[in-house]
């Protein structure tokens, strides 16, 4: 009896995990496609770290959470910011100096793991967001895969198929159990019939 209860609990856990995985995959894929890049969660943007320039703060393949900046002129030294470069690429580095040139504020940045300063000062209008301190190692590889067409198909189809296979297995098992109970009830009725 204990083993049946344990199997039922395990069955419920597996069903829940598969369902939540499917929902998470759908969210990641749709959010990535809708934003044209990284997913957004509760107003924060998730960025994939593609280089080791900020190690050990965060490693290549991690995802980091950045928060859009309301007032890009109010950033300060040691803030880790994500900014747009002239070529359209996005970089996340640390502000090592706030440069005030007349009425213009600019930021000198540098990757923690880089020997040299970044070549150009960052203008406030190019700041995309500020690093929140939240990172998940290696998940960035997964997000990058999810953004590809093969990844999108795989991440939507595989959990759905697993859920379908598991549901089929559960239904088949339940039908067998009902069949056994029905046969048992029939035998008991035959035994209890008056002669």
pTM listed for this prediction: 0.58
Last residue in a domain, options 87, 120, 135: 135
Residue 195 lies inside a defined structural domain of this protein = no
Same domain as 106, residue 19: no
Residues 47 and 66 in one domain: yes
- Domain span including residue 157: 1-36+137-167
Query: SS3 sequence, the chain?
Result: CHHHHHHHHHHHHHHHHHHHHHHHHHHHHHHHHHHCCCCEECCEEEEECCCCCCCCCCCCCCEEEEEECCCHHHCCCCCEEEEECCCCCEEEEEEEEEEEECCEEEEEEECCCCCCCCCCCECHHHEEEEEEEEEECCHHHHHHHHHCHHHHHHHHHHHHHHHHHHHHHHHHHHHHHHHHHHHHHHHHHHHHCCC
**Domain boundary, last residue among 135, 153, 179:** 135
Same domain, 54 and 131: yes
Q: What is the rounded distance in angstroms from the CA atom of residue 123 to the CA atom of residue 19? A: 45
What CATH number did the domain enclosing 63 receive?
A: 2.10.109.10
Q: Are residues 108 and 128 in the same domain?
A: yes
Instruction: Report, as an integer, the average pLDDT of 104-120.
Output: 89
Average the pLDDT over 102-110 and give the result. 89
Task: Give the Cα separation of 14 and 21 in Å (integer).
Answer: 10
Q: Higher confidence at residue 92 or residue 155?
A: 92
Instruction: Verify whether residue 51 is a known catalytic residue.
Output: yes
Average pLDDT over residues 77-97: 89
Examine the pLDDT at 138 and tell me if it is beyond 80: no
- Residue 80 has a pLDDT of 92
Question: Are 147 and 88 found together in one domain?
Answer: no
The domain tally of the chain equals 2
Distance, in Å, from the CA atom of 67 to the CA atom of 191, rounded to the nearest integer, reads 73
Has residue 176 been placed in a domain? no
Residue 35 has pLDDT above 60, yes or no: no
Judgement on whether residues 53 and 1 belong to the same structural domain of the protein: no
Whether 52 and 89 share a structural domain: yes
Structural domain contains residue 61: yes
> Does a structural domain hold residue 128?
yes
Of residues 84, 152, 76, the one with CA closest to residue 120 = 84
Same domain membership, residue 73 and residue 15: no
Write down which residue in 81, 114, 135 finishes a domain. Answer: 135
Which of 1-10, 33-42, 165-174, 179-188 shows the lowest mean pLDDT across its residues? 33-42
Work out the average pLDDT over 77-102.
88
Task: Write down the pLDDT at residue 108.
Answer: 93
Q: Could you say which of 3, 11, 15, 51 is catalytic?
A: 51
Q: Is residue 92 part of a domain?
A: yes
Which is nearest to 82 in space by CA: 135, 154, 5?
A: 135
142 pLDDT more than 80: no
The pLDDT score that the predictor gives to residue 22 is 67
> Do 18 and 75 belong to one domain?
no
63 shares its domain with 114: yes
**What φ, ψ does residue 189 adopt, rounded to 5°?**
-65, -45
Cis peptide before 34 (omega within 30 of 0): no
Count the neighbouring beta carbons within 10 Å of the beta carbon of residue 91.
Answer: 19
pLDDT of residue 33: 57
| Centroid of chain to Cα 21 | 11
Average pLDDT, integer, range 78-88:
88
The answer on pLDDT for 185 being more than 90 is: no
My answer on whether 109 and 50 are in the same domain is yes
Cβ contacts of 86 within 8 Å, gap of 6 or more? 120
Average pLDDT of the chain is 79
**Which of 9-23, 115-129, 158-172 has the highest average model confidence (pLDDT)?**
115-129
Are 94 and 47 part of one and the same domain?
A: yes
Instruction: State the average pLDDT over residues 24-50.
Output: 67
User: Within a domain: residue 90?
Assistant: yes
């Amino acid at each position: 009896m204990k083993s049946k209860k344990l199997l039922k609990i395990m069955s419920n856990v597996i069903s829940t995990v598969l369902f939540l995985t499917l929902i998470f995959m759908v969210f990641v894929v749709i959010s990535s496609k809708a934003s044209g890049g990284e997913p957004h969660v509760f107003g924060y943007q998730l960025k994939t770290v593609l280089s080791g320039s900020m190690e050990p703060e965060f490693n290549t393949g991690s995802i980091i959470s950045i928060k859009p900046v309301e007032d890009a002129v109010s950033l300060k030294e040691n803030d880790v910011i994500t900014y747009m470069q002239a070529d359209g690429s996005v970089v996340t580095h640390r502000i090592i100096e706030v440069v005030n040139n007349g009425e213009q504020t600019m930021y000198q940045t540098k990757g923690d793991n880089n020997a040299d300063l970044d070549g150009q000062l960052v203008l406030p209008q190019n700041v995309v967001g500020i690093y929140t301190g939240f990172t998940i190692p290696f998940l960035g590889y997964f997000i990058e895969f999810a953004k590809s067409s093969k990844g999108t198909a795989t991440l939507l189809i595989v959990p759905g198929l697993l859920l379908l296979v598991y549901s089929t297995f559960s239904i088949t098992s339940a039908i067998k159990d009902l069949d056994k109970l029905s046969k048992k009830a029939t035998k008991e009725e035959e035994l209890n019939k008056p002669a």
